[in-house]
């Protein structure tokens, strides 16, 4: 737990662009789900919006947990195998899926807002708030996708496996770190073997 605390970046949500955008994904999807509770009734198609908001909330909470506690910079050894969490690649995939899904959700909720103008004020307010929050989520997901695509080495998405999000920038993991770790492990093993 001590190593997690030393790698933790509690200022992650204060850093532009990634920290603020990833925090906005969590905050606005949670707000949207809470606002859905106050709707007197739901239009057809809003189950898709609820699914997208729930999926984006769960994924963004997991991504933010990984980034705040620095788990995306660590290599875990499980059963003698090195395991690295490709958090940047997962953020890209989630945001790309969220970008498309939230754009469709924004259209669904916008149609619901236009139709709600003939009903009660509470329904109008709920769908107006949902339209704004879904549009903000679409913008946040799109911005993350564009920034990560620009950060991909040579424009190849699979290269994001080697990229780490720092909050205000991205940095590439170099092979020198892996070589150093392997050399240190080999040296330690050799030293231990010589003493045994």
pLDDT in tens, the chain (196 residues): 455 556 677 888 888 899 999 999 999 999 999 999 988 888 888 999 999 999 999 999 999 999 898 888 788 888 888 888 889 999 999 999 999 999 999 999 999 999 999 988 999 999 999 999 999 999 999 999 999 999 888 888 888 888 888 878 888 876 544 432 332 333 333 333 233 3
Count other Cβ atoms within 10 Å, centred on residue 35: 18
Quote the strand ranges of 74-169, DSSP E.
Answer: 75-78, 81-84, 163-165
For residue 74, the model assigns a pLDDT of 81
For residue 170, the model assigns a pLDDT of 85
For residue 175, the model assigns a pLDDT of 53
Taking the alpha carbons at both ends of the chain, their separation in whole angstroms is 31
How do 170-172 and 163-165 pair as beta strands? Answer: antiparallel
Triad 155, 148, 11: Cα angle to 5°: 150
For residue 155, the model assigns a pLDDT of 81
For residue 10, the model assigns a pLDDT of 81
What are the φ/ψ torsions at residue 53 (nearest 5 degrees)?
-65, -40
For residue 7, the model assigns a pLDDT of 66
What are the φ/ψ torsions at residue 10 (nearest 5 degrees)?
-75, -10
CA distance 172 to 120: 53
| Sequential DSSP letters for the chain | -HHHHHH--TTGGGSTTHHHHHHHHHHHHHHHHHHHHT-SS--TTHHHHHHHHHHHHHHHHHHHHHHHTTGGG-EEEETTEEEE--HHHHHHHHHHHHHHHHHHHHHHHHHHHHHHTTS-HHHHHHHHHHHHHHHHHHHHHHHHHHHHHHHSGGG-GGGGGGEEE-SS-EEEPPHHHHHHHHHHHHHHHHHHHHH-
């Amino acid at each position: 737990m001590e190593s997690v605390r030393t790698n933790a970046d509690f200022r992650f949500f204060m850093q532009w662009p990634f920290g603020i955008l990833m925090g906005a994904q969590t905050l606005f999807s949670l707000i949207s789900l809470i606002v859905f509770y106050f709707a007197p009734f739901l239009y057809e198609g809003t189950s898709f919006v609820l699914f997208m908001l729930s999926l984006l909330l769960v994924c963004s909470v997991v991504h933010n947990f990984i980034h705040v506690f620095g788990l995306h910079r660590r290599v875990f050894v499980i059963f003698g195998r090195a395991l690295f969490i490709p958090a940047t690649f997962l953020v890209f995939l989630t945001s790309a899926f969220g970008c498309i899904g939230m754009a469709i959700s924004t259209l669904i909720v916008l149609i619901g807002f236009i139709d709600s103008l003939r009903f009660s004020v509470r329904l109008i307010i709920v769908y107006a708030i949902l339209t704004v929050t879904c549009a903000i989520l679409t913008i946040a997901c799109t911005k993350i996708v564009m920034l990560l695509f620009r950060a991909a080495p040579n424009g190849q998405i699979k290269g994001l496996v080697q990229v780490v999000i720092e909050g205000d920038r991205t940095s590439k993991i170099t092979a020198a770190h892996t070589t150093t770790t392997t050399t240190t492990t080999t040296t330690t093993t050799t030293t231990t073997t010589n003493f045994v």
